[in-house]
Chain A
Amino acid sequence: MAIQETKYLTEFYHLPEFKGIDGYKKNGGYVELEKALKMQPQAIIDEVKASGLRGRGGAGFSTGMKWGFLPKNNEPRYLLCNADEGEPGTFKDRMMMEKAPHQLIEGMIISGFAIGSKKSYIYVRGEYDQSINTLETAIQEAYKAGYLGKNILGSGFDHDMDVYRGAGAYICGEETGMISSLEGLKGQPKLKPPFPAVQGYLKKPTIVNNVETLAVVKYVIRDGAAHYKKIGTEKSTGTKLFSLSGNVMKPGNFEVPLGFPLKDMVFGLGGGMKPGRQLKAVIPGGSSAPVLNAEESNRALLDYENLAQMGTMLGSGAIIVIDDSNCMVQCLSNLMHFYHHESCGQCTPCREGTGWLDKITRSILSGKGRLQDIELLLKVADNMKGKTICALSDAAALPVLSFVPKFRDEFEYFVREGKSKVKGTAYKGHSYAEMHH
């Protein structure tokens, strides 16, 4: 049988009408909101906890447990939807917001009701203009229909929702960085503890969840935790949206149960390599996830546990495929430029470390690398791990600590010969454009 998606969240994404409130309601929209508003908030939290749902943004932390960290009092609290989607390779949240804005909004109102929040924000990266417009229209529709505002559907529950536009900073996808940004400040992360659930936006308890995570909440209410848990694996429950990109014939977003074989994703749903090309490597969970070589990719399963066992991570579900026409030194250098650009500059190991990783890889790329540079890369990366306020420093170090050992021959060849083993040339910069600077 042909390899297929399991369209659980994305069942109606092919219908253009699903974007508007009428089309959404025609296809089961806002039914679960009515159901949830008749439940006890704690019962919703328990159901989400029992479903095994884990954060879909990257960290994979239990959503129900995260909600459980909120103080048990009547203090005002915020729900903040993380739609800053910036992890290179990830484009699933954008699709969700543009094709099914009400799915997210319904999931958020249910979640807001469960945690006792009267106000939520969707923090969308500034570049996603279409997502922002679609969400703003949908929120207006939801207000008109009485799903937002005062006394929602006669339940006595009030909830307001608004969109906040980011302004271009990867670091704002980190939850405390996002809170700083929503406060109108530089998007610099804050030390934890206190965790946002205790002290977040304007020092009030705040829950930050990814777009996909919040959308799933509706389906946990619809089908119940017991049913939801049957999808996926024992510890990685449910389906997940994967963004497949790079050197595959059919890139795109694909929804599959967790535990799905990576090779079926790449060669089945993704249509495999271009003619004459071979698979060389896969980054399975966004650019921060350690890279897998072809042999590892062929046996990896897309769930939290299996990828962790293989020394990498599921992350945001962004799968970047690299074929044998590409130079791994250049790929790593591309990523180091990214992290150097995106470091917020607060912590020394990250600010300086990302700079050095960028410079050293660039030096190798230009053909001027020294043999000791390879060890230096590893040493710098090692000194960046676990030493900073947030995980960006680790995110920059992990690619180095996997690219270099797994493709060491390419790095050594480049240093020795002054040119790429694959492409046969050196680069004068990161890109064509920089060569001309």
Chain B
Amino acid sequence: MFQLSSEGKQQVLNELKRYESKQSAVLPALYIGQRENKGFITPAVIQELSRVMEIPESQINEVFTFYTMYNKKNVGKYHVQVCRTLSCMLNGAEELVGHLCEQLNTRVDQMTTDGRFTISEVECLGSCGTAPMMQIGDKYFENLTPESAMNLLRTMK
């Protein structure tokens, strides 16, 4: 069972009125659902959105599964998304991911046992001039070295 908070529900209702078509609110509503369900989306979240939005579950579900920013499974408190595409690769993205995984004793896409981190490799984040880089939550961290990235993670409790 998942229920939107009254604030979250109001936000979804606002999004429904914001665009010329009700369906356009599906992407923003999924973000709201994800935020209220500890960062990932389950069938229960889809059910709740469907009920509030009066849009069939199937129509919400196909959108949910299409886009990469909606998480399909539980991620750590800090979702560390390292860009792996060419310009970052040329500047050491692989070493960066390798170092983080090694130091945290984890693998890509696997949450650390303390639930703090999930390290993921993602495609181009549009930060190629400041490579290598990673995104944690909404923030970009650029011009990294394996050590500077790990030092940053150490400050995140």
Using a CB–CB cutoff of 8 Å, the interface residues on chain A facing chain B are: 85-91, 93-94, 119, 125-130, 162, 164-170, 181-187, 201-202, 243-247, 251-253, 283, 287, 318, 320, 322, 326, 330-331, 334-335, 337-338, 341-342, 344, 430-434, 436-437
Contacts and interface: CB of A to CB of B under 8 A. Distances in A.
B108 A185 contact: no
A263 B98 CA distance: 34
B25 A184 contact: yes
B101 A247 contact: no
5 contacts: A88-B85, A164-B24, A165-B31, A169-B68, A433-B107
A89 B127 CA distance: 8
B128 interface: yes
A283 B86 CA distance: 11
A165 B67 CA distance: 12
B115 interface: no
Contacts of B147: none
Contact of B97 (A337, A341, A433): A433
* Pairs of residues from A and B, 6 with the lowest C-beta to C-beta distance, nearest first: A432-B98, A168-B68, A167-B67, A245-B128, A168-B69, A184-B23
A28 B98 CA distance: 49
B94 interface: yes
Interface string B97-113: 11001000001100000
Residue of A119, A129, A334, A335 with highest tally of chain B CB at under 10 A: A334
B86 A246 contact: yes
A334 B97 CA distance: 15
A320 B90 CA distance: 9
Contacts of A322: 90
A169 B21 CA distance: 21
Contacts of B24: 164, 182-184
Nearest to B66: A186
Contacts of B128: 88-91, 243, 245-246, 251, 318, 320
B139 interface: yes
Contacts of B67: 126, 166-169, 187
Interface string B68-89: 1110000000000000111101
Contact of B21 (A93, A170, A184, A330): A184
B23 A169 contact: no
Nearest to B64: A167
Contact of A432 (B18, B94, B140): B94
Contact of A186 (B63, B69, B139): B63
Given A90-B128, A287-B85, A186 B27 contact: no
B126 interface: yes
A127 B135 contact: yes
B125 interface: yes
B124 interface: yes
Contacts of A246: 86-87, 90-91, 128
A431 B101 contact: no
A340 to B, nearest CB: 10
Nearest to A94: B126
Contacts of A170: 123-124
B46 interface: no
A169 B18 contact: no
Contacts of A87: 124
A88 B66 contact: no
Interface string B123-157: 11111111100010011100000000000000000
B20 interface: yes
Contacts of B22: 184
A366 to B, nearest CB: 15
Given A169-B66, A246-B86, A251-B131, A91 B126 contact: yes
A151 to B, nearest CB: 21
B148 to A, nearest CB: 17
Residue of A90, A187, A432 with highest tally of chain B CB at under 10 A: A432
Contacts of B66: 169, 186-187, 344
Nearest to A128: B126
B28 interface: yes
Contacts of A88: 85-87, 123-124, 128
